A and B are shown apart, each in its own frame.
Chain A
Amino acid sequence: MNYRKVARNVLKYAVWIIATLFTVIPIMWMIVISARSRVELFDDPSFIISSFYEENYTNVINDETFRGYMWNSIVVATGNAVLVTFLAVLATYALSRYDLIGKDNIFFTTLTQRMAPPAAFLLPLFLLFTQVIVFEGTDRRWDLYDTRIGLILLYCVFNLPFAIWLMKGIMDAIPSEIDEAAYVDGATTWGVLTRIIVPLVTPGLAVTLILSWVFAWNEYLFAATLTAFDARTITTGLAEFVTVTGTNWGEMAAVSALTLIPSTIVVLFAQRYIVTGLTFGAVKD
């Protein structure tokens, strides 16, 4: 019997090691490449970094354009995450506490927006951003194309349904007697939301905020089609390395590594909630 147990343990650790290597090696390789100069690129693959070629990083960070992309990404992701979380609190409170006509349909419709392939929306959104939502000023014409505010609003299309689905379960778990009692004491809706509900849902709120932030940071397709220069994000900048500037693999790897930093931080701090978040709260980890 003991023999079987040993065999099972050996198998378990073997699988553990293989799966972990498979996950880690590509990321390691990216870091290796980001530490190599052009000349060293074609050396044999080795995962030991003998000398660190910082220029890949410093070149990128000192580049005006790239710094702009980075800043845009930070602004868009933060703006969108805050907006989405705020709206989701209001919306889920309404869906959870009020007897609104067709609220189940509203709830489900939000999910279909998350299912929809983003590529299908590129064309109409492009037209919407360039032709439809336009303000003709006296001296200049203003539209949503290539603006950060445009991206912040647009990312709601996938982040808001996500946030609503995640927050709905959390909101439903708060007994409504708590806010009923506050209303009896004469609190306003706004008062109940800010003084009672928000403190109770803070952990869920933080998870929603963090995950929406990462999704907005990671988005590429919309940013690539709906921005030209001013509002370009880091993900589009990464794609440009391959198509426009020839291919400077070292710098490309450095940019990939930089885009990975926030994701890694999130994993370190919010790892427990990521599975719950990615399954829309359906599976609790």
Chain B
Amino acid sequence: MRSNRVGWLLLSPTLLILFIVGIVPFIYVLYVGYFDWNIFAATDMSFVGINNYRELVFDERFLDALWVTVRFTIFAVLSQFVIGFILAQLLVEEFPGRWLFRLIHTVPLMVAPIAVGAIWRLMTIPGFGPIPFYLDEWFGINFNIGTSSEQAFLMIVVMDIWHWTPFVTLTLLAGLSALPQDPVEAAQVDGANNWQIFRFITLPMMRPVILTVLFIRIMDALRTVDEINMLTNGGGPGTATRTLGIHIFRVVFPGTDYGYGSAMSLLTLYFTIVICWLLFVLLTHSPENSKSS
């Protein structure tokens, strides 16, 4: 092995940048979170210990935003997974037009989240958006995401389904296409029906891909800000679609209480890391993996 000093030298710019923009802010949040700090007040920072965190546990707006985030993640990721799996199963065999499907469905993945918000905003504007227009014309439903909390929440889930189902579909499709066909053929010879093949062969073999997709989707859904902020104008109506990210961006950040804001940022970070870590453990140390290896 050559001198490790060269290795560290090659790694150092990366570590330096990630340290400054990634680790330093993290430590800073940790530090400021123990203080009462209003930057516009004449008084200096005052140490308040864990009071900020104690307050947070009873902060209704924070808990509300947390609940919206969790609900959004569950509804969106679950729908994407179910739809994505069905689509992938249907499209796994080669057929004319499959390449076009893949091409078209890759587009939403690369669209800027803020533009996704803008696109769906145009779809839902009362007056000329096609969704309110046709719902009214065909079913007599009054659709207005500016006033109805349920409709607004439904719409952010639909928007996320539009944005990310293609990712789930295409990834699962890639996984399905790469599966070896021998076990399936062997099972067919043994007289297994389609459901049994799916349940006992396809699903277990797809497990790593499925977990990867869920891991990435949950991680990203928990931090969704841009498109929802754009679609519902900052989490409206009221706080119906105000996720944690939007809460910090629209309420805490422009506010003045930096200590409290830092505590909230850290708790958000902690909450996300715990969920991601649990998923990661599930991903890497699954019982079936260790059995097979």
Per-position 1/0 for B42-80, Cβ under 8 A of A = 000000000000000000000000000000000000000
Q: Which residue of A lies closest to B222 (CB)?
A: A117
Q: How large is the interface on B (under 10, 10 to 19, 20 to 34, 35 or more residues)?
A: 35 or more
Contact A249 B125 (CB under 8 A): yes
| Cα–Cα distance between A160 and B130 once the two chains are bound (Å) | 40
Q: Which residue of B lies closest to A30 (CB)?
A: B119
| Cα–Cα distance between A26 and B129 once the two chains are bound (Å) | 10
The 6 closest A-B pairs by CB, nearest first: A98-B7, A124-B25, A218-B112, A263-B110, A119-B245, A117-B223
Kindly identify, within residues 109 to 136 of chain A, every residue whose CB is under 8 Å from any CB belonging to chain B.
109-110, 112-113, 115-128
Q: Nearest Cβ in chain B — how far from A261, in angstroms?
A: 11
Contact A26 B265 (CB under 8 A): no
In the complex with contacts A119-B249, A123-B252, A263-B14 CB distance below 8 A:
no
In the complex with contacts A106-B15, A120-B29, A160-B18, A12-B95 CB distance below 8 A:
yes
> Number of A residues contacting the other chain (C-beta, 8 Å)?
97
For the residues of A in contact with B, the DSSP-based class is helix
| Cα–Cα distance between A99 and B162 once the two chains are bound (Å) | 44
Contact A88 B14 (CB under 8 A): yes
A109 CB contacts on chain B under 8 angstroms:
18
Contact B253 A123 (CB under 8 A): yes
In the complex with contacts A100-B11, A242-B230, A119-B174 CB distance below 8 A:
no
Contact A225 B249 (CB under 8 A): yes
Contact B110 A266 (CB under 8 A): yes
Q: Which of B127, B208, B216 has the most CB of A within 10 A?
A: B216
Per-position 1/0 for B1-44, Cβ under 8 A of A = 11010111011011101101110111011001000000000000
| Cα–Cα distance between A260 and B106 once the two chains are bound (Å) | 13
Q: Nearest Cβ in chain B — how far from A240, in angstroms?
A: 11
Instruction: Kindly count the residue-residue contacts between A and B in the assembled complex, taking CB atoms under 8 Å apart.
Output: 293
Q: Nearest Cβ in chain B — how far from A147, in angstroms?
A: 14
Contact B115 A115 (CB under 8 A): no
A255 CB contacts on chain B under 8 angstroms:
118
Contact B17 A160 (CB under 8 A): yes
List residues of chain A with CB under 8 Å of any chain B CB.
9, 11-13, 15-16, 19-20, 22-27, 29-30, 33, 41-45, 87-88, 90-91, 93-95, 97-100, 106, 109-110, 112-113, 115-128, 153-154, 156-157, 160-161, 164, 183, 189, 214, 217-218, 220-221, 224-225, 235, 238-239, 241-243, 249, 252-253, 255-256, 259-260, 263-264, 266-268, 271, 274-276, 278-280, 282-285
Per-position 1/0 for B118-137, Cβ under 8 A of A = 11111101011110011000
Could you list 28 examples of A-B contacts with CB < 8 Å?
A: A11-B90, A13-B97, A16-B97, A16-B101, A25-B130, A90-B13, A91-B10, A97-B2, A98-B10, A99-B4, A112-B276, A113-B22, A115-B272, A117-B269, A118-B225, A120-B29, A121-B26, A123-B252, A124-B265, A128-B21, A128-B24, A221-B245, A235-B112, A242-B121, A260-B115, A271-B102, A271-B103, A283-B209
Contact A164 B14 (CB under 8 A): yes
Contact A119 B122 (CB under 8 A): no
Q: Which residue of B lies closest to A33 (CB)?
A: B122
| Cα–Cα distance between A15 and B262 once the two chains are bound (Å) | 47
A30 CB contacts on chain B under 8 angstroms:
118-119, 122
| Cα–Cα distance between A41 and B41 once the two chains are bound (Å) | 48
Contact A123 B268 (CB under 8 A): no
Q: Which residue of B lies closest to A110 (CB)?
A: B18
Q: Which of B142-150, B165-173, B183-191, B195-203 contacts A (4 or more CB under 8 A)?
A: B165-173
Q: Nearest Cβ in chain A — how far from B274, in angstroms?
A: 11
Which of A26, A266, A285 contacts B170, CB < 8 Å? A285
Contact A156 B7 (CB under 8 A): no
Contact B119 A263 (CB under 8 A): no
Tell me, yes or no, whether B87 is within 8 Å of chain A by CB. yes
Contact A93 B249 (CB under 8 A): no
B95 CB contacts on chain A under 8 angstroms:
9, 12
Contact B10 A122 (CB under 8 A): no
In the complex with contacts A23-B104, A27-B119, A120-B248, A16-B91 CB distance below 8 A:
yes
Contact A123 B11 (CB under 8 A): no
Q: Which of A98, A112, A117 has the most CB of B within 10 A?
A: A117
B249 CB contacts on chain A under 8 angstroms:
119, 122, 221, 224-225
